[in-house]
């Protein structure tokens, strides 16, 4: 399980407790912290020390030099997971918006259907959003998914979702160091790379909760990247195919 963090000191201990309570005996949690000013990195170290007392590598903490974007943190955690030889790599946010109890079912869906990735989706039948989400946020999220699918034809209803379980052999075919996106559009680019490799993305319904503390880290640069990346990916793909013999 890869978890990027930036100022998640209040939520990370709660999330880690929930994760290790799941019926997943082989689970390892990898935290990629972007030098959080609130001490999240030190808290992650304390949690890892407690979890690894029995000599088991149940928790790994990556200390990154500074805030370089949630996408870069995700990629760093995924690379670390691949280097450790895991067969399946999951990703989720640290703010408790994603339900940890959904992970075993998502893994089961991945195994049974042979998909490249399973996405915890807010927008397929059975999925739902927190009642704390206002009308403007719902419209913005719906438009973002419409926009991405209109340009890239991903056919994924929740193309911006960040709650996923991947097959490691699929991740290994994606150049994680060479991704164009550093921020939240990382999710869209990963879906696009997966589809471009010929793998299927399967969506399963989840309830998406509002974060309990803190605020969103999405800034103006993230929004600009999210607007422009789909066109960059489509143009790059057309150029690559035009040069393919």
Here the CATH number for the domain that contains residue 138 is 3.90.550.10
109 or 234, which is more confident = 109
CA distance 188 to 167: 17
pLDDT of residue 238: 53
pLDDT of residue 237: 64
Threshold 0.85, pTM exceeds: yes
**Residue 128 reports pLDDT greater than 90:** yes
Residue 96 neighbours by CB distance under 10 Å: 20
Q: How far is CA 237 from CA 72, 118, 152, in A?
A: 22, 24, 10
Beta-bridge partners for 62: 32
pLDDT of residue 209: 94
Question: Does residue 11 form part of some domain?
Answer: yes
pLDDT of residue 225: 73
> What one-character-per-residue DSSP string does 87-116 give?
SEEEE--SSS-S-GGGHHHHHHHHHHHT-S
Question: Does residue 245 form part of some domain?
Answer: no
238 or 42, which is more confident = 42
Q: Is residue 18 packed enough to be buried (19+ CB in 10 Å), middle (13-18) or exposed (0-12)? A: middle
Beta-bridge partners for 205: 121
- Maximum pairwise Cα distance, the chain: 55
Rounded to the nearest integer, the mean pLDDT of the chain is 90
Confidence grade of residue 216 (pLDDT, cut at 50, 70, 90)? low
| 168, 55 Cβ separation under 8 angstroms | no
Residue 54 neighbours by CB distance under 10 Å: 6
Question: Does residue 216 form part of some domain?
Answer: yes
Question: Does residue 30 form part of some domain?
Answer: yes
- Which domain, by its residues, includes 229? 2-240
Q: What is the pLDDT of residues 1-27, one digit of tens each?
A: 999 999 999 999 999 999 999 999 999
pLDDT of residue 160: 94
**Residue 244 reports pLDDT greater than 50:** no
How large is the average pLDDT for residues 203-231? 76
**Number of structural domains, the chain?**
1
């Amino acid at each position: 399980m890869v978890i990027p963090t930036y100022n998640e000191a209040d939520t990370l201990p709660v999330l880690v407790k929930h994760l290790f309570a799941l019926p997943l005996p082989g689970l390892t949690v990898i935290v990629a912290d972007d030098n959080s000013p609130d001490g999240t990195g030190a808290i992650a170290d304390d949690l890892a020390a407690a979890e690894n007392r029995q000599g088991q590598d149940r928790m790994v903490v990556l200390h990154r030099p500074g805030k370089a974007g949630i996408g870069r943190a995700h990629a760093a955690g995924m690379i670390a997971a691949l280097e450790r030889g895991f067969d399946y790599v999951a990703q989720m946010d640290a703010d408790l918006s994603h339900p940890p109890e959904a992970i075993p079912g998502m893994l089961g869906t991945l195994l049974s259907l042979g998909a490249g990735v399973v996405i915890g989706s807010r927008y397929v039948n059975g999925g739902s959003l927190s009642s704390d989400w206002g009308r403007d946020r719902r419209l913005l999220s719906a438009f973002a998914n419409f926009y991405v699918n209109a340009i890239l034809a991903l056919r994924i209803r929740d193309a911006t979702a960040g709650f996923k379980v991947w097959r490691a052999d699929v991740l290994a075919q994606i150049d994680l160091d060479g991704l164009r996106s550093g921020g939240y559009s990382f999710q869209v680019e990963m879906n696009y790379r997966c589809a471009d490799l010929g793998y299927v993305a399967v969506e399963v319904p989840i309830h998406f909760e509002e974060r309990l503390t803190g605020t969103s880290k999405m800034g103006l640069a993230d929004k600009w990247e999210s607007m422009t990346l789909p066109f960059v990916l489509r143009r790059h793909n057309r150029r690559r195919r035009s040069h393919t013999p």
